[in-house]
Structure 1
Amino acid sequence: MNGDEILVGYDGSADATLALNWALDEAEHSGRPIRLAYVFEWVTVAGWVGPGVAPGIWPDDTARRQVEELVAKAAADAAAARPTVTVHGEVFDGPPALVLEERSAEAGLLVLGSRGHGGFGGLLAGSTAVSVTAHAHCPVVVVRDGDTPAGRTGRVVVGVDGSDTSLLALGFAVERAAQRGVPLHVVRAWEPSADRDLGADDAAAAERAALDGPLAGWRETFPDVAVTVDVVAGRPAGALVEASRDAQLVVVGSRGRGGLRGMLLGSVGQQLLHHAHCPVAVVRER
């Protein structure tokens, strides 16, 4: 695996298929190769059994072969449907979240469905998606059933609060908007404070002015990308969820200014994983 690949968590589920389709679109725009990663978890009464199988416990070789055939067929079908994209498939052993987190260190982007075969129907984002998004070493895109990414041609939305990770998110978002030839919509949300000296209008103007510097360089680099800015008084998660209704992708940093230092995934990112109306990208420093 090279550091430019798009790694796709794939288990044959509907959400994983949507994630693969999103990754194929991304690969066509970016020229990156794709690697499908099926993480095979041996489950016995004693728990997970890895390559060093405990005495007396024998994995099902037939099931393993079926998984390998599934991945090989998915990779072949994807390559046939998108002949300009290089697609590989690979089967790994271990707990899915842990393996995907480890493999993300060697990938340029990780794409997941929000829930796999083991997900509970009432959850909008499963435990594997949330855990991997919190701990991955590269940007993560989470796609879920209902996002219908192939049919979305709307803008790219990004939340920017001035934190380091939000500035990385801005760069990721503007590059995707440029690749797709769609507008970029920047959202900066601020929460009014009683001890703030500025009035509401002046505070909003100050928040908008704070975006001028970060946006200037990207406007120069990608002059053809139409950029709109929305400065709203309120909680950022709610503003971004609303903005995601007519977007093809919403992008945030892993932790914003209000995030606790020990948190690997901030509350805004977590809320978007559960409530956004389009695929969600979470960007962090490698």
Structure 2
Amino acid sequence: MSRTDHLTLGFDDSPGARTALHWALDEAARTGAALRLALVLDTPAVPAPVPYPVGWPDQAAMDVATAVLDRVTEAAAHSHPAVPVTRTVRRGAPARVLEDLSRTSRLLVLGSHGHGGFTGMLLGSTGVSVSAHAHCPVVVVRRHADPHGHVAVGLDGSPASRIALRFAARAAVSRGVPLHAVRVWTPPSPLWEPSGFDAAAVQAAETAALDKDLVDCPSTRITAEVVAGNPAGVLLAAARHAQLVVVGTRGHGGFTGMLLGSVSQHLLHHAPCPVAVVREPVPATPDVDH
């Protein structure tokens, strides 16, 4: 199975994971992809507050996990009969396992909150780490969104945001909905405003830059806006009536070592719709799953 023909869902049977499952099945059906369910049995690297049984995860835990995925696969066959579903149970640290599986995936999907029964995949260290380091785009599904809403994308002129734009445009086309592109610039504080600062000139330059980015955009219905303000707040507003909001992993922020910027992290935790975090594509490696 190549990375171009399937999605991977990190699944732990929590309510958040089940919400993500519905989204992933719909996405697979819409794009003609297969879906791989991945359940990770977390092997503790340090002593846990509640001690794990010696040798956990043992074969009994693996059998329970496999039974969970069998049940979910059977239900998916009834709700989405055209979507091929495979499953895999892995041992290890969830973030590392999911990052590894992302090497051979078109898209990696996560729920926003797990319950720790199998993986502890809360949208905390695991979700943010996977979103930052995955080898394919990651979609975090916090809740169901309006299926008729637009696709929103945040742009700042960085290479990462232009990659996000291409992903967002394809998503909008496949859904038959408008693409809403938002370019945000942050005005200087009045206390530190440079002499001769011309906000109107900056706004005009940002608008011209956005227009240039959108020239070759494949989406047929595009709305665009340039906003001066706080990027996280502006993009949250743009996501209010969206079915998907798309961002790059890192823009023009000064802290270039932060692979997942503060804006992306803010959206992952607070957006009212699924959030796609898009990195520069990484060459695929052979898939070993069956």
Give matches, 1:16-55, under 5 Å: 16-42=17-43
- Alignment partner of 1:160 out of 147, 155, 172: 155
SS at match of 1:103: helix
In 2: Cα distance, 1:7 partner to 1:196 partner? 52
Residue of structure 2 equivalent to 1:217: 216
Residue of structure 2 equivalent to 1:204: 203
**AA at the equivalent of 1:216:** V
SS at match of 1:217: coil
Moved more, 58-67 or 21-30: 58-67
Structure 1 residue 197 displacement after superposition = 5.2
Q: 1:132 to 1:280 in 2, by over 3 A?
A: same
Residue of structure 1 equivalent to 2:12: 11
Give matches, 1:262-277, under 5 Å: 262-277=257-272
Assess if the C-alpha contact under 8 Å between 1:27 and 1:33 holds in 2: yes
Q: Which runs of 5+ in 1 are unaligned?
A: 48-55
Structure 1 residue 259 displacement after superposition = 4.7
Assess if the C-alpha contact under 8 Å between 1:254 and 1:269 holds in 2: yes
1:22-81 CA-to-partner distances (Å, cap 9, x unmatched) read 11111122111110000112459956xxxxxxxx74643222211101112212211221
In 2: Cα distance, 1:185 partner to 1:8 partner? 27
SS at match of 1:106: coil
- Is the aligned partner of 1:188 residue 2:183? yes
Residue of structure 1 equivalent to 2:137: 139
In 2: Cα distance, 1:57 partner to 1:45 partner? 14
**AA at the equivalent of 2:65:** V
In 1: Cα distance, 2:254 partner to 2:264 partner? 10
In 1: Cα distance, 2:254 partner to 2:108 partner? 23
Q: RMSD over aligned Cα, in angstroms?
A: 2.2
- Is the aligned partner of 1:176 residue 2:171? yes
Q: 1:187 to 1:62 in 2, by over 3 A?
A: same
SS at match of 1:152: coil
In 2: Cα distance, 1:196 partner to 1:171 partner? 37
Assess if the C-alpha contact under 8 Å between 2:185 and 2:227 holds in 1: yes
Q: 1:45 to 1:203 in 2, by over 3 A?
A: closer
In 2: Cα distance, 1:231 partner to 1:41 partner? 44
- State the number of aligned residues: 268
Alignment TM-score, normalising by the size of structure 1: 0.87
**AA at the equivalent of 2:37:** L
In 2: Cα distance, 1:161 partner to 1:167 partner? 8
